[in-house]
Structure 1
């Protein structure tokens, strides 16, 4: 395939597989992180690395971004298309194929990584912050509908 940097490969391919986790606490609140790159809230998650399963990527990203260990992941949904368009701060433009899991099984103490996120907070699904990362809006909308019917 030649000598492509990650950014060249992303621009060449255009689609980037990612995995994230909706973490729900005992009060049916969802954990969101305030991202440093766009100053908006999103679920923990990120791009998969070569050879990783989606579950491994989801667990790794959650741990890196929140210091939490998640267990018993259930597939929530897969998101793709225009709603998953993202432009990185360096100008790289991608369309995520987002594999999203949900769990209420987690352990550890919430700790902000300070790199990708600057705040972590559990929110009531009916009282989410206004500034949501655009590609997370359909995820959180689906979550709101699902929590009404108990996931």
Structure 2
């Protein structure tokens, strides 16, 4: 299985060799809990998401990735921000891809399904807003969730 290693402001990080637009979704249920996945590739908690495929829109990619990774069907309702920090490099050990960050984070509401794991998620669960930041996660993911929770000056562009 491929591992994912995130580098932040690290002079020892590999030189990026790709940039792949990706999307994450902050999916909430009727009581405001946030849908989170425990990733299989880096053992961190994260919002569902992944690469945007050719032929699909950003919202379509968010809905597809959420369903694939969590079993939850959602509809997009807004946007948290766009994240393109060139000092954040993501290394995929299986193929040596070193990606410069390019992530669009949307908001969504759950409309169906039930939490189900996948090859990318060892655990899927609804987490109360007040507990979500207590989960172990990469600092880039934490920042995105913090922006969502604060809700001010959105969308974030950076």
TM-score, normalised via structure 2 length: 0.76
Kindly indicate whether residue 74 of structure 2 is the aligned counterpart of residue 70 of structure 1: yes
How far is the alpha carbon of 1:106 from its aligned partner?
A: 2.2
Larger strand percent: 2
Aligned partner of 1:121 in structure 2 is: 125
- 1:71, 1:53 → 2: CA distance? 13
2:40 counterpart (36, 41, 52): 36
How far is the alpha carbon of 1:23 from its aligned partner?
A: 0.6
Note the residue ranges of structure 2 that are not aligned, 5 or more in a row.
1-14, 153-158
- 1:81, 1:142 → 2: CA distance? 15
How far is the alpha carbon of 1:125 from its aligned partner?
A: 2.5
TM-score, normalised via structure 1 length: 0.79
Kindly indicate whether residue 56 of structure 2 is the aligned counterpart of residue 52 of structure 1: yes
In angstroms, what is the RMSD of aligned CA positions? Answer: 2.1
Q: Deviations over 1:41-61 (max 9, x none)?
A: 000000111222111111110
Note the residue ranges of structure 1 that are not aligned, 5 or more in a row.
1-10
Local SS of the residue matching 1:60: helix
Contact 1:85–1:135, Cα closer than 8 Å, also in 2: no
Local SS of the residue matching 1:69: strand
How far is the alpha carbon of 1:12 from its aligned partner?
A: 7.5
